[in-house]
Amino acid sequence: MRKLPPILVASLALAAAAACGSDSGSSSGTEPAAQGSAPADGGAKKPLEGVTIEAAAVWSGEEQANFEKVLRAFEEKTGAKVTYVSTTDDIGAVLGPRIQGGNPPDVAILPQPGLVQQYADQNALKPLAPEVQTQIDQNYTPYWKELGSANGQVYGVLVKAAHKSLIWYRQSAFDDAGAQPAATWDDLIKNAQTLADSGVPPFALCAASGWTLTDLFENIYLSTAGPENYDKLSKHEIPWTDDTVKTALEKMAQIFGKKDFMLGGASSALQTDFPTCVTQVYAQKKAAMVIEADFVAASATQSGAKIGEEAKIMPFPKVGETAPVILGGDVAVVMKDTKGAQALVEFLASKEGGEVWAKQPGYLSPNRNVSPDNYPDELTKQLAQTIISAGESVRYDMSDLAPSAFGGTDGKGEWKQLQDFLRNPSDVKGAQEKLEADAAKAFKK
């Protein structure tokens, strides 16, 4: 389920895991094997001269323009010609008929890892070539490799991500109330009370967009239950009636259960979508904080707030023993097993390709060997530290790993049950039972 707006702000392109591992230190480990080296005379034929490749993704506008710069770098290096097709948000509506017609794009970049399994089950994906898998092994943790795999076969590589473990705040509201950025959940709740006492609702919630509530739950759950339980719940290996879920919901109820903590109370929050809640904080100055990802920056800037001054961020505070770091992102897969398709995905998975992309606005790389020096400002580097510090505990958005009927459909599954829990946060047990019933049904399919 795509959750990113089409425009991201340059100052928040994030090096996701830039320092989790060391550089491979060898050119052979950072360049696609199919590309080779350009002859000194510059006139010889490049390795993919005359090869045409079609790549499809959801990106449009600025995101499309930035990705096309990466494609131009690949073309210059290899001699291939790449045509980009924007599917807009509903990529399945474009890919489905083309797969059925036997004419899929050479490469698709899927906005949800769950789609890797879906298309693999339809025999619509081609296994990645050994050269591509070499890039993955050199540049990504085993967890990211697993996200691009299905049925024991590697089909995709995460090439772009979004940082979802952030809380944005309005500096002037904090100054007026005497509040400070929070390092722990208890500090956050204390600050919320301080802000409420000053007459400013601490949180603007975008609860009409149910995915924002799943993001909140996931951060709390990863912190309190730990990475292993997070993985189990994401695969429905433990039920939603488990005590670890109870603990996370009880923490959410510390916000949901206090009307003065939410702008307009629960009823207003449930009528507010994303990014309207960002406008409420920065343009209308009606609340102090919004809990969401790095892409909040676009709406904050459009509201007239300068990033790093009036619009500031804090890492999502520790609720338990784990400092939560959750990413969303996009997975590149091969749909036609051609030399050009494999070479393009190899380039996107490489350190070289990641660093070309990192120089563009609105990009976050899960490639641990992309140097932070490629990112544009100090705020970006500060954000990168949350990824670096998290190391192996970084996790992917849980709702995007689930079947879409449970984790990615408006008015159903997790979105609906968390919205209902916001309406009645005292019924933790009832919320758990409903979540489990919906999850059991979706995971059986």
The mean-pLDDT minimum among 83-97, 193-207, 378-392 falls in 378-392
Beta strands in 60-155 (DSSP E): 81-86, 107-110, 149-150, 153-154
Q: What pLDDT score was predicted for residue 324? A: 94
Q: What pLDDT score was predicted for residue 385? A: 61
Spacing of C-alpha 429 from chain mean position: 29
pLDDT tens-digit series, residues 359-397: 886 687 888 888 888 877 666 666 756 665 667 788 999
Q: What pLDDT score was predicted for residue 420? A: 98
Q: Report residue 355's pLDDT band, with 50, 70 and 90 as the boundaries.
A: very high
pLDDT reading at 16 higher than 50: no
Q: What is the mean pLDDT of residues 223-248?
A: 97
Q: At what angle do helices 413-423 and 243-256 cross, to 10 degrees?
A: 50
Q: What is the mean pLDDT of residues 249-257?
A: 98
pLDDT reading at 188 higher than 80: yes
pLDDT reading at 18 higher than 70: no
The mean-pLDDT minimum among 231-245, 387-401, 407-421 falls in 387-401
Compare 384 and 148 and report the one with higher pLDDT: 148
First CA to last CA distance, the chain: 18
Q: Is 171 exposed, middle or buried (0-12, 13-18, 19+ CB in 10 A)?
A: middle
What is the chain's mean pLDDT, rounded?
88
Q: What pLDDT score was predicted for residue 409? A: 87
Q: At what angle do helices 351-358 and 61-78 cross, to 10 degrees?
A: 140
pLDDT reading at 119 higher than 60: yes
- What SS3 class is residue 62? helix
Bridge partners of 313, per DSSP, are 168
- Dmax over Cα atoms in the chain, in whole Å? 73
Domains with residue ranges and CATH for the chain: 10-163+327-391 (3.40.190.10), 166-324+402-444 (3.40.190.10)
Beta strands in 309-385 (DSSP E): 311-315, 326-334
Which range has highest mean pLDDT (36-50, 152-166, 194-208)?
194-208
Structure tokens that stand for 105 in this block: 């794009």
Bridge partners of 107, per DSSP, are 55, 334
CA nearest to 291, candidates 218, 237, 227, 375: 218
pLDDT tens-digit series, residues 24-77: 333 333 334 444 444 444 567 899 999 999 999 999 888 899 999 999 999 999
Q: What is the mean pLDDT of residues 280-302?
A: 93
Q: What pLDDT score was predicted for residue 2? A: 44
Characterize the bridge pairing of strands 107-110 and 149-150. unpaired
Angle at alpha carbon of residue 15, lines to 11 and 19, rounded to 5°: 140
Q: What pLDDT score was predicted for residue 384? A: 59
Residue 381 burial (CB count, 10 A): 16
The mean-pLDDT minimum among 120-129, 314-323, 396-405 falls in 396-405
Characterize the bridge pairing of strands 311-315 and 166-170. antiparallel
pLDDT reading at 7 higher than 50: no
CA nearest to 12, candidates 314, 329, 380, 330: 380
pLDDT reading at 108 higher than 90: yes
SS (H, E, C) 211-276: HHHHHHHHHHHHHHHHHHHHHHHHCCCCCCCCHHHHHHHHHHHHHHCCHHHECCHHHHHCCCCCCH
Beta strands in 11-143 (DSSP E): 52-57, 81-86, 107-110
pLDDT reading at 78 higher than 50: yes
Bridge partners of 332, per DSSP, are 109, 157
Encode burial over 220-233: b for 16+ CB neighbours within 10 A, e otherwise. Answer: bbbbbbbbebbbbb
Q: What pLDDT score was predicted for residue 425? A: 98
Task: Based on DSSP, count helices (H) and strands (E) in the chain, helices before strands.
Answer: 19, 11
Q: What pLDDT score was predicted for residue 39? A: 46
pLDDT over 70 percentage in the chain:
86
pLDDT reading at 211 higher than 90: yes
Rounded Cα–Cα distance for residues 105 and 79 (Å)? 19
Structure tokens that stand for 124 in this block: 């619509």
CB 273 within 8 A of CB 206: yes
Q: Report residue 322's pLDDT band, with 50, 70 and 90 as the boundaries.
A: very high
Quick one: residue 422, left, alpha or beta (phi over 0 = left, psi -120 to 50 = alpha)? alpha
Compare 6 and 244 and report the one with higher pLDDT: 244
pTM score, whole prediction: 0.78
